[in-house]
Amino acid sequence: MSSSLRPYLQCVRSTLTAAFCVQNFPCQQVERHNKPEVEYKNSKELLLNPVLICRSEQERCYIEASINSVRISIKVKQSDELDVILARKFTSFLEQRADAFRVMRRKPVEGYDISFLITNIHTEEMLKHKLVDFICQFMEDVDKEISELKLSVNTRGRAVAVEYFQGFC
């Protein structure tokens, strides 16, 4: 329902803007190490309250923040089995090329389709508001991509079937 898409993205955008206050923080357990605290979760005082923003039963966005990193996990809307397969293929295609994205996590968090890990290094090298824009644009576009893929699968299937059965008619 596009009626709640805009408030959903707006909510994610403002939450991310608040959560992206990250700074460098060396590891407290091992000296000379620097780890994204949101991944290791060793010290409770370094973690912020995780926030789950749902648009519906199927669409969710889970934002976990910490002192030096933020993890954003997105569950894309999948209405039928074809959507599930397409979403899995699409997200695994992107995740294999996670190095090119830099902020993408190679494996999604359990229960979600795709995850992003943004550390203080990313916020130092890149612009925070642009990172937020990227995530929100990504969430908007991935829905459109999957519907386009579904349409093209159905069109191709129909064309193949017509060609095949013409030989029998």
Question: What residue ranges bind another protein (CB under 8 A)?
Answer: 1, 3-4, 7-8, 10-11, 14-15, 17-19, 21, 48-49, 51-57, 60, 65
Least distance from another protein to the Cβ atom of residue 128, Å: 12
CB of 111 to another protein, least distance (A): 12
Measured distance CA(73)–CA(104) in Å, rounded:
10
* Cβ nearer to another protein, comparing 30 with 52: 52
Q: Which is nearer to another protein, 52 or 160 (CB)?
A: 52
What is the Cα–Cα distance from 39 to 73, expressed in whole angstroms? 12
Closest to another protein by CB, 58 vs 96, is: 58
Q: Residue 69, exposed/middle/buried by CB under 10 A (0-12, 13-18, 19+)?
A: buried
Please report how many Cα atoms fall inside a 13 Å half-sphere around the Cα of residue 102, on the Cβ side. Answer: 9
The token pair that represents 64 in the structure block:
């976990």
Output 19 or 74, the one with its CB closest to another protein: 19
